[in-house]
Structure 1
Amino acid sequence: MIKGRNYILMVCCILFFFGCSKKAGVIAEPIPEEKPVHPLISGVNWADARDNFVDGWVIPSGLEASDNYASAAIKSESIYNGVIANLAGVNAIRLPVNPPSVSDSWWAAYQATIDQALAKKLKVILCCWESSSSKNGMIDNMDAFWQMWTTILNKYGQQNEVYIEVFNEPYGYTLSQLSAIYEQFLSKFPALPKNRILLSGTGYAEDVTGIGADARFKDCLLALHNYAFWNTRSQSEWEANWRVRYGAYSSRTVITEFGAGMSTGKNYTGAVGSDNEIAYIIGSTNVFRNSNLSSVYWPGIRDGDSYSLLSRSGSGGDMKLSVVNPSGVTRLRFGWGY
């Protein structure tokens, strides 16, 4: 009997031991690291070397006015290959348009730039710029403006990955005037899904709260800009400043322009110190990540621009892109959730 009891006790101890060990093993398994949420749009601007405020056609750096569809497609593919290779996680490109670019012969070639982006699984934001000679924060010619968007939407209106940013930096309009233009846009193009329409905030697209609060636009996205050269602030002040600019509308806001000097050698992953641009980039990308804000850097590619994140070399189908400032790329991708 004693030996039997000892046997039973031994079996129970073994079962208890292994049961505890198994349970302990489960508890000891590493908890998977929480994956950050990536925003709807994580992109860069591809801009004209003259800036996108031009009289005539907008021609992003690397393209030429003599290009036809085939040559523009080859060059665009080279650019997008470089963007994707150097900016892991990028999913969007913002391209300029204006009435001359769409109404003239350039449109036949320029469509290749859009088509190649879509072929690379990139979202495309098409944004209207005013001309250089006018440059007053207002649409140059309303009839030409409406015809431009009609032509574009006849071609790309059914393409789910093409987003329409109605007008860039509309600082010439009051809130009520701008709202009236946006209402007219929605009326003219009712078939275009609202969640593919970007409405710039007032001023230099610097505040989206007025447009965001308007019930007529509740299903539209909002385009917001903010730059370090506009003011000098600490990192925490830049973070607070962004939050004021988008208010209660973070889920609908897309930062379609932000940027700072990249060719200056500044370290955007180091200490902030007293440098306003470093405070701005770190503060901005902190806010983008924490609020899951979509963001599009200005510019990703633009020849001769000290803010450009990537530099271009070569020509035609052999164009190559290289990173100007690795710390800038790190912070950009951090803002995207990586």
Structure 2
Amino acid sequence: MFHSRVSRPPRGAHSGRPTGQGRTLRRVLAAALTTLVAVPVSLLSAAPSASAAVDPTQFRGVNWARIGDNYTDTPLVLDGMSATDTYATIRAKADALYSGFNSTVGANTVRLPMNRNTAPGTAWGDAYAGAVDAATAKGFNVVLSYWEDGASSGGKVVNTASFYTMWDAVIAKYGSNSRVYFEPMNEPHGYTSTDWRNFAATWIARYPTLPKERIFVSGTGFNDDVTSVCSDSRLAGTYLSLHLYGYAFSARSYDDWVTLFNSRIGTCGARTVLGEFGAPMDDGRNYNDAGSTDNLVRYLRAATDTVRAKGMGAIYWPALGGKRTMRPDYDWYSLYALHGTGTNLSLSVRNTTIVDRLEYAWNTGDGSPTTTLRNVGVPGCLDVPGASQVNGTQTIIWTCTGNTNQKWTRTAGGQITVYGGTKCLEATAAGTANGTTVGINDCNGAANQQWIFYSDGTVRGAQSGRCLDVKETTSRTQLWDCWGGSNQKWQIV
């Protein structure tokens, strides 16, 4: 995200394109060469590894951020962490959250911020390592990105020695772990294109044993254009990181959004990861609506369509954390609401239509919100018996047939509809007690027809907070206190 010291409009406000002016400073390469004198011999002496072909499609990810954004001179205590957490506690929390990222959207990558007070060898950095280790143990990719702190200002590194001391420690700890990737600087908007490319090339030269395909080079400005870094031969073989947000530009058509993305990517899609993008998640926007007149819906559809069309990777901003400019308690772009205490954490998805768009971008789904809902404990699919369309018909679990009475559509407003959206799944008579039957009725937008999908596999009534439960003796659906039973676990198939 953007540095709080830079004058930028809050998300949700319209503005023209940000201009982030580069300032004329001494040549970065010359300054960095001076710093190289202090580079440990072990980092310079070995021959570079052969570079493998990059594959950005392997990065299906989310950003995990600090509350209030990651620009800070203090340790990076991410949303859900506590400053007193130990390595073991952070690892347990991270493990729970990564399971949720994967189970809800199929994520396999997390982008984590880094700064000098979070680097290995610092008190917090040694605890923070639990977040990295939990991810790699789970088979996740990790992108460690440096965010502006006291060693930088205005989108530019000002204390080169301190900056490289941090990176030396990070590379020494994680350089041998093939699942960890390194982004030298997030949003280097204080540099001209030439100076940023020189700086990135110097960073790469400092770590000759680090494979170039483990490096993410930020686009110029606010990461919003990768074409010039792509054309620099010194940066060949690296990934490129693009950030592009709808709120930073004037409203435009879907086609014009696609044109904008293409202009910022050029012919470099096969190396590019859309490392930050996002839109409001809590106000019912339908990101599945191809005909939407909402500018941010058009933007996000263009983003996800471009990622898929160009064979790119994509990392959504944010899963958790971020700025609280439009909402007092969370970033309204955040993918999830966080629940639980201690290490017993779970997530709920704020808007299920973003799940469909992410799966489409990542080429892991067709983008359709219409699927079957399969119960884990009672084998079979959620079904309207006899294909009835009579209001009040209680739903059941039945052998999966793929018929229309088993095709359920998840909407941006939290409804689960059937028969092409003519009927909604509801808690009968707006009941909230244990044992309240669950069936179909005409869609009316009431709270008893709104459902929330959780990372533990449960589907919970927005009104009651109780779980969509299958009574095992009858295979009929009802509300019941959430207790962790397999008859309350659902799969979207």
Task: Tell whether the structures are fold-level matches, with TM greater than 0.5.
Answer: yes
Aligned partner of 1:152 in structure 2 is 170
Structure 2 SS opposite 1:172: coil
CA distance, structure 2, for counterparts of residue 61 and residue 273 of structure 1: 32
For residue 60 of structure 1, the aligned residue among 64, 69, 78 is 78
1:94 aligns with 2:120: no
Q: CA deviation at 1:297?
A: 0.4
CA distance, structure 1, for counterparts of residue 176 and residue 292 of structure 2: 49
Aligned partner of 1:332 in structure 2 is 358
Aligned partner of 2:325 in structure 1 is none
Aligned partner of 2:4 in structure 1 is none
CA distance, structure 1, for counterparts of residue 151 and residue 272 of structure 2: 30
Q: CA deviation at 1:38?
A: 8.8
Question: Superposition pairs for residues 27-46 of structure 1, below 5 Å?
Answer: 39-46=57-64
Q: 1:132/1:322 Cα in 2 relative to 1: closer, same or farther (>3 Å)?
A: farther
Q: Percent identity?
A: 36
Aligned partner of 2:309 in structure 1 is 290
Question: Is the Cα–Cα contact under 8 Å of residues 118 and 124 in structure 2 kept in the other structure?
Answer: yes
Structure 1 SS opposite 2:85: coil
* Letter in structure 1 aligned against 2:70: N
Aligned partner of 2:346 in structure 1 is 320
CA distance, structure 1, for counterparts of residue 56 and residue 163 of structure 2: 34
CA distance, structure 2, for counterparts of residue 126 and residue 45 of structure 1: 10
1:182 aligns with 2:200: yes
Q: Deviations over 1:6-65 (max 9, x none)?
A: xxxxxxxxxxxxxxxxxxxxxxxxxxxxxxx99121100000012101121111110111
* Letter in structure 2 aligned against 1:183: A
Question: Is the Cα–Cα contact under 8 Å of residues 53 and 132 in structure 1 kept in the other structure?
Answer: no
Structure 1 SS opposite 2:97: helix
Q: CA deviation at 1:335?
A: 0.5
Q: 1:265/1:132 Cα in 2 relative to 1: closer, same or farther (>3 Å)?
A: farther
CA distance, structure 1, for counterparts of residue 70 and residue 56 of structure 2: 29
* Letter in structure 2 aligned against 1:267: N
Aligned partner of 2:265 in structure 1 is 246
1:139 aligns with 2:165: no
CA distance, structure 1, for counterparts of residue 283 and residue 209 of structure 2: 46
Structure 2 SS opposite 1:255: strand
Q: CA deviation at 1:140?
A: 4.4
Q: 1:147/1:54 Cα in 2 relative to 1: closer, same or farther (>3 Å)?
A: same
1:121 aligns with 2:139: yes
Q: CA deviation at 1:80?
A: 1.0
Question: Is the Cα–Cα contact under 8 Å of residues 130 and 140 in structure 1 kept in the other structure?
Answer: no
* Letter in structure 2 aligned against 1:100: N
1:256 aligns with 2:275: yes
Highest RCO, 1 vs 2 (Cα 8 Å, sep ≥ 6) = 1
Q: Deviations over 1:125-166 (max 9, x none)?
A: 000000289651112421111011110111110111111011
Aligned partner of 2:242 in structure 1 is 224
Q: 1:248/1:310 Cα in 2 relative to 1: closer, same or farther (>3 Å)?
A: same
Q: CA deviation at 1:82?
A: 1.2
Q: 1:208/1:244 Cα in 2 relative to 1: closer, same or farther (>3 Å)?
A: same
Q: CA deviation at 1:274?
A: 2.1
Q: 1:247/1:38 Cα in 2 relative to 1: closer, same or farther (>3 Å)?
A: closer
* Letter in structure 2 aligned against 1:97: M
CA distance, structure 2, for counterparts of residue 264 and residue 124 of structure 1: 30
Aligned partner of 2:89 in structure 1 is 71
* Letter in structure 1 aligned against 2:255: S
What 5-or-longer segments of structure 1 have no aligned partner? 1-36
CA distance, structure 2, for counterparts of residue 189 and residue 228 of structure 1: 36
CA distance, structure 2, for counterparts of residue 140 and residue 316 of structure 1: 38
Q: 1:187/1:134 Cα in 2 relative to 1: closer, same or farther (>3 Å)?
A: closer
Q: CA deviation at 1:314?
A: 0.7
CA distance, structure 1, for counterparts of residue 231 and residue 181 of structure 2: 21
CA distance, structure 1, for counterparts of residue 218 and residue 209 of structure 2: 20
Q: 1:228/1:272 Cα in 2 relative to 1: closer, same or farther (>3 Å)?
A: farther
CA distance, structure 2, for counterparts of residue 87 and residue 117 of structure 1: 16
* Higher mean C-alpha deviation, range 56-65 or range 110-119: 56-65
Q: Which has the larger radius of gyration?
A: 1
Q: CA deviation at 1:104?
A: 2.6
CA distance, structure 2, for counterparts of residue 38 and residue 267 of structure 1: 27
CA distance, structure 1, for counterparts of residue 98 and residue 150 of structure 2: 27
Q: Deviations over 1:280-332 (max 9, x none)?
A: 01111111111111010001122711001111011222111110000011111
Question: Is the Cα–Cα contact under 8 Å of residues 110 and 143 in structure 2 kept in the other structure?
Answer: yes
CA distance, structure 1, for counterparts of residue 298 and residue 150 of structure 2: 32
Aligned partner of 2:100 in structure 1 is 82
| Equivalent residues, number | 301
Q: CA deviation at 1:92?
A: 0.4
CA distance, structure 1, for counterparts of residue 344 and residue 234 of structure 2: 47
For residue 309 of structure 1, the aligned residue among 330, 335, 349 is 335
Aligned partner of 1:299 in structure 2 is 318
What 5-or-longer segments of structure 2 have no aligned partner? 1-54, 323-329, 366-493
Instruction: Name the structure where strand makes up a greater proportion of residues.
Output: 2
Question: Is the Cα–Cα contact under 8 Å of residues 116 and 149 in structure 2 kept in the other structure?
Answer: no
Question: Is the Cα–Cα contact under 8 Å of residues 151 and 157 in structure 2 kept in the other structure?
Answer: no
Q: CA deviation at 1:270?
A: 1.8
Structure 2 SS opposite 1:302: strand
CA distance, structure 1, for counterparts of residue 113 and residue 147 of structure 2: 7
